């Protein structure tokens, strides 16, 4: 490859030398033909375009020479053409600049015959310092413009323009803002290693790709209503506003860093991404994906303190991941502070660099054992899903979720929600803040992936994830997770999620004042009696307990024995029964005789023996009989409600 570049370099130098050495630009270009005719020479230079002999009266010699070179080869110097053979220049390698007036370049791009010639050759400028403001009319200008190693000392503004080709700005400075508003570029737009106050490109249409790589913009980058094939943004900026951005392909935002004291903002509201959306290796203070649409997949890591994504729709996989390397680095620092060995797990201690976790935070932590209560302020690092707030702290700028952080997924439509990283369930909670607005959110799959493998979490992980929803109870979210687990064959896990949803509904119902006291009582009894219909073994346990207690209570009654045995019944003690064996036999006799009566009294609407209803009890046994029959009716009612599905559907 290096030999090929050298060969091309030699051929290019020979051609340019032959083309430019035959004549020098001046006010009047002499006849460059040989007086002896073309047959006198074995080689003659390529023909000179007549447009190259034109020049404006106000041009100086530098501008005339520049036009001559550009007209001949499309470039102001040989070095610019050689850029095609080597990697793009870096700003640090740009030193000497040729001064050029902005009016001169505007004339070349907008006035015939220069414009016509540039439509054929394109325009490549290298190492130029452009003074003045770039002003164009409303006519289309030639494309295939490449400017490298440049300085724009004035403004660069294209409004309602059409550019018939691509544009590239590589390694340069815009001392003012770059404005490409409502402009149609019939090609690609590339900016690499440039800097400027702010970039305004609202309403611009780029037929090919839009690429911004290595740029430093202290202000804002406005990409609102931009249309492009693919978008690649890899810059340092205070904020990127790309509302209504529309791409036919993918949109990628890599390594976005702030130029100031705070993390940058990325706004993609109402964006329509025809391919995939990648937001990686970037730290944002705010990320807005409200009502955006992604046709394929969306991948996000280094989550911000506020991720606002109401109405987000992702037809493919919505993947969120956490900076695993950052967690390892934090663990390394904590080991050093705590004087621990490399293989020892550090404890999280709330130093001044991090916010101390309060009781509410600890209660929401997911513990590795599956306990949502969390281990407390002192915990192994692996069990800390939330450490502090997202900010630049004195301890080497670590980034974490804030206690006030919020993940807004209201009305979002996500096909697959995927967490990327290790399979440690507690680590997987790193990507989720304490507050998630999941009202009306719909999804099909929630899973985890690492090293090309996919797996599901335990039911308790899903329960803790759903508990972070800050809005009022919405059974649809619990139902979606439960249905997903059920479809994968995890029936027990699905029931665990359903019960957790009913428990949350019970809590919110019972904390809403006296107006909901009836609903609270109904749901409390539903939980206790039948486990909301998911624990149907509970009624059998209650049946055994109440019937057994009733057997002792009713079996020791003289009224019961008068009916069951004889009228001269006496208690065991009155008959002189005192030994343990006699008492055991008498107790068994009481249960044996009292059990049928207790069972008959407990079961409603069913009479096992009509004679049982002629027994007349008195005193405390009569009071217990009322309670016994009431509990039988109540338990039977909830069994019927559970069988019909009323207890699973909601409150009264």
pLDDT at 293: 94
What are the structure tokens assigned to 400, written together? 């974490």
What's the chain's average pLDDT? 73
pLDDT at 44: 46
pLDDT at 558: 59
Contact between residue 496 and residue 478 where contact means Cβ atoms under 8 Å apart: no
pLDDT at 423: 46
Give the single-character DSSP code of 244.
T
Give the angle subtended at the CA of 214 by the CAs of 208 and 219, to the nearest 5°.
95
Reported confidence tier of residue 121, pLDDT bands at 50, 70, 90? confident
pLDDT at 479 over 50: yes
Q: How confident is the model over 24-72, as pLDDT tens digits?
A: 443 333 333 333 344 433 444 455 666 777 888 888 888 888 888 888 7
pLDDT at 612: 78
- Among positive and negative, which fits the CA dihedral 347, 348, 349, 351? positive
- Tell me which residue of 466, 354, 363, 367 sits closest to 402, measured CA to CA: 354
Q: How far is CA 343 from CA 337, 338, 460, in A?
A: 15, 13, 29
What mean pLDDT comes out for the span 76-104? 67
Contact between residue 475 and residue 650 where contact means Cβ atoms under 8 Å apart: yes
Q: How confident is the model over 135-194, as pLDDT tens digits?
A: 776 778 888 999 988 999 888 888 888 999 999 999 888 988 888 888 999 999 999 988
Q: Which helix (H) or strand (E) holds 151?
A: strand 145-152
HEC per residue, 265-334: EEECCCCEECCCEEEECCCCCEEECCCCEECCCEEECCCCCEEECCCCEEEEEEEEECCHHHHHHHHHHH
The answer to whether residue 582 is domain-embedded is yes
Contact between residue 305 and residue 287 where contact means Cβ atoms under 8 Å apart: no
- Among positive and negative, which fits the CA dihedral 458, 459, 464, 469? positive
Residue predicted with more confidence, 209 or 354: 209
Residues 222, 353: Cα–Cα separation, whole Å: 34
pLDDT at 314: 92
The answer to whether residue 543 is domain-embedded is yes
Reported confidence tier of residue 208, pLDDT bands at 50, 70, 90? very high
Query: How much of the chain exceeds pLDDT 70, in percent?
Result: 66
Residues 52, 576: Cα–Cα separation, whole Å: 136
The answer to whether residue 552 is domain-embedded is yes
pLDDT at 420: 63
Residues 213, 565: Cα–Cα separation, whole Å: 98
What mean pLDDT comes out for the span 553-570? 56
Q: How confident is the model over 417-432, as pLDDT tens digits?
A: 877 655 455 555 656 7
pLDDT at 295: 93
The answer to whether residue 259 is domain-embedded is no
Please report the DSSP string for 245-263 in residue order: -EESS-EEEES-B-SSSS-
What mean pLDDT comes out for the span 376-384? 30
Question: Residue 548: how many CB atoms within 10 A of its CB?
Answer: 15
The answer to whether residue 553 is domain-embedded is yes
pTM tops 0.75: no
Helix ranges (DSSP H) in 170-228? none
Q: How far is CA 470 from CA 364, 402, 434, 436, 504, in A?
A: 12, 15, 8, 6, 12
pLDDT at 62: 84
Q: How confident is the model over 384-403, as pLDDT tens digits?
A: 333 332 222 222 233 345 55
Residues 39, 33: Cα–Cα separation, whole Å: 11
CA 466 vs. chain centroid, Å, equals 16
pLDDT at 292: 94
Residue predicted with more confidence, 84 or 177: 177
Contact between residue 553 and residue 602 where contact means Cβ atoms under 8 Å apart: no
Residues 387, 541: Cα–Cα separation, whole Å: 44
What mean pLDDT comes out for the span 616-621? 81
The answer to whether residue 627 is domain-embedded is yes
pLDDT at 33: 35
What mean pLDDT comes out for the span 331-336? 63
- Tell me which residue of 500, 491, 499 sits closest to 531, measured CA to CA: 499
Domain that holds residue 545: 538-649
Query: How much of the chain exceeds pLDDT 90, in percent?
Result: 15
Query: How long is the chain?
Result: 652
The answer to whether residue 345 is domain-embedded is no
The answer to whether residue 606 is domain-embedded is yes
Most confident of 106-120, 345-359, 544-558: 106-120
CA 312 vs. chain centroid, Å, equals 10
Residues 586, 594: Cα–Cα separation, whole Å: 12
CA 434 vs. chain centroid, Å, equals 15
What mean pLDDT comes out for the span 543-559? 80
Reported confidence tier of residue 308, pLDDT bands at 50, 70, 90? confident
Task: Name which of 1-15, 147-161, 174-188, 477-491 the model is least confident about.
Answer: 1-15
Q: How confident is the model over 239-285, as pLDDT tens digits?
A: 899 999 999 999 999 888 777 666 788 999 999 999 999 988 787 87
pLDDT at 338: 64
What mean pLDDT comes out for the span 222-249? 93
How many separate domains does the chain show?
Answer: 1
Residue predicted with more confidence, 225 or 393: 225
Residue predicted with more confidence, 573 or 99: 99
Residues 66, 63: Cα–Cα separation, whole Å: 5
pLDDT at 225: 93
């Amino acid at each position: 490859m290096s030999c090929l570049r050298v060969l091309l370099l030699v051929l290019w130098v020979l051609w340019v030398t032959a083309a430019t050495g035959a004549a020098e630009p001046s006010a009047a270009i002499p006849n460059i033909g040989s007086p002896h005719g073309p047959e006198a020479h074995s080689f003659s230079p390529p023909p000179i375009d007549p447009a190259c002999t034109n020049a404006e009266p106000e041009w100086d010699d530098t501008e005339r020479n520049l036009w001559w070179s550009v007209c001949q080869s499309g470039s102001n110097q040989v070095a610019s053409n050689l850029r095609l053979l080597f990697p793009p220049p870096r700003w640090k390698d740009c030193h000497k600049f040729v001064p050029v007036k902005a009016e001169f370049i505007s004339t070349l791009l907008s006035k015939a015959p220069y414009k016509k010639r540039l439509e054929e050759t394109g325009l490549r400028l290298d190492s130029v310092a452009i003074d003045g403001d770039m002003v164009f009319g409303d006519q289309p200008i030639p494309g295939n413009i490449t400017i490298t190693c440049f300085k724009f000392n004035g403004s660069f503004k294209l409004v309602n323009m059409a550019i018939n080709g691509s544009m590239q700005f590589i390694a340069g400075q815009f001392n003012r803002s770059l404005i490409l508003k409502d402009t149609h570029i019939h090609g690609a737009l590339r900016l690499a290693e440039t800097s400027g106050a702010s970039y305004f490109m609202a309403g611009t249409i780029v037929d090919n790709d839009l690429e911004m790589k290595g740029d430093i913009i202290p202000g804002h980058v406005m990409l609102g209503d931009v249309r492009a094939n693919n978008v690649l943004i890899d810059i340092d900026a205070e904020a990127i506003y790309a509302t209504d951005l529309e791409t036919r392909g993918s949109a990628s935002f890599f390594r976005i860093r702030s130029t100031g004291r705070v993390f940058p903002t990325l706004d993609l509201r109402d964006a329509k991404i025809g391919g995939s959306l990648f937001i990686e290796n970037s730290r944002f203070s705010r990320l807005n994906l409200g009502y955006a649409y992604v046709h394929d997949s969306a991948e996000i890591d280094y989550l911000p303190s506020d991720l606002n994504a109401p109405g987000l729709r992702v037809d493919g996989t919505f993947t969120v991941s956490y900076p695993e390397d950052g967690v390892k680095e934090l663990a390394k620092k904590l080991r050093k502070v705590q004087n621990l060995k490399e293989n020892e797990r550090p404890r999280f201690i709330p130093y001044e660099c991090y916010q101390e976790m309060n009781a509410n935070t600890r209660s929401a932590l997911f513990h590795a054992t599956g306990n949502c209560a969390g281990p407390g302020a002192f915990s192994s690092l692996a069990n800390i899903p939330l450490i502090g707030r997202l900010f630049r702290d004195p301890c080497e700028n670590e980034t974490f979720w804030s206690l006030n952080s919020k993940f807004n997924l209201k009305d979002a439509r996500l096909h697959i929600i995927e967490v990327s990283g290790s399979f440690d369930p507690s680590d997987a909670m790193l990507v989720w803040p304490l507050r998630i607005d999941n009202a009306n959110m719909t999804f099909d799959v929630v899973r985890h992936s690492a090293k090309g493998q996919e797996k599901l979490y335990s039911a308790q992980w899903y329960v803790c994830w759903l508990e972070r929803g800050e809005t009022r109870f919405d059974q649809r979210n619990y139902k979606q997770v439960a249905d997903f687990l059920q479809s994968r064959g995890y029936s027990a896990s699905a029931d665990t999620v359903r019960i957790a949803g009913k428990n949350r509904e019970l809590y919110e119902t019972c904390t809403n004042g006296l107006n909901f006291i009836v609903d609270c009582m109904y749901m409390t009894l539903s939980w206790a009696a039948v486990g909301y219909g998911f624990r149907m073994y509970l009624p059998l346990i209650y049946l055994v307990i109440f019937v057994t207690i009733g057997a002792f209570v009713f079996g020791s009654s003289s009224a019961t024995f008068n009916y069951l045995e004889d009228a001269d019944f006496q208690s065991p003690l009155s008959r002189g029964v005192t030994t343990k064996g006699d008492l055991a036999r008498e107790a068994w006799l009481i249960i044996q005789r009292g059990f049928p009566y207790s069972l008959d009294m407990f079961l409603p609407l069913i009479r096992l023996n009509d004679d049982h209803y002629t027994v007349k009890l008195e005193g405390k046994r009569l009071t217990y009989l009322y309670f016994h029959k009431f509990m039988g009716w109540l338990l039977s009612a909830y069994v019927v409600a559970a069988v019909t599905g009323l207890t699973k559907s909601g409150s009264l």
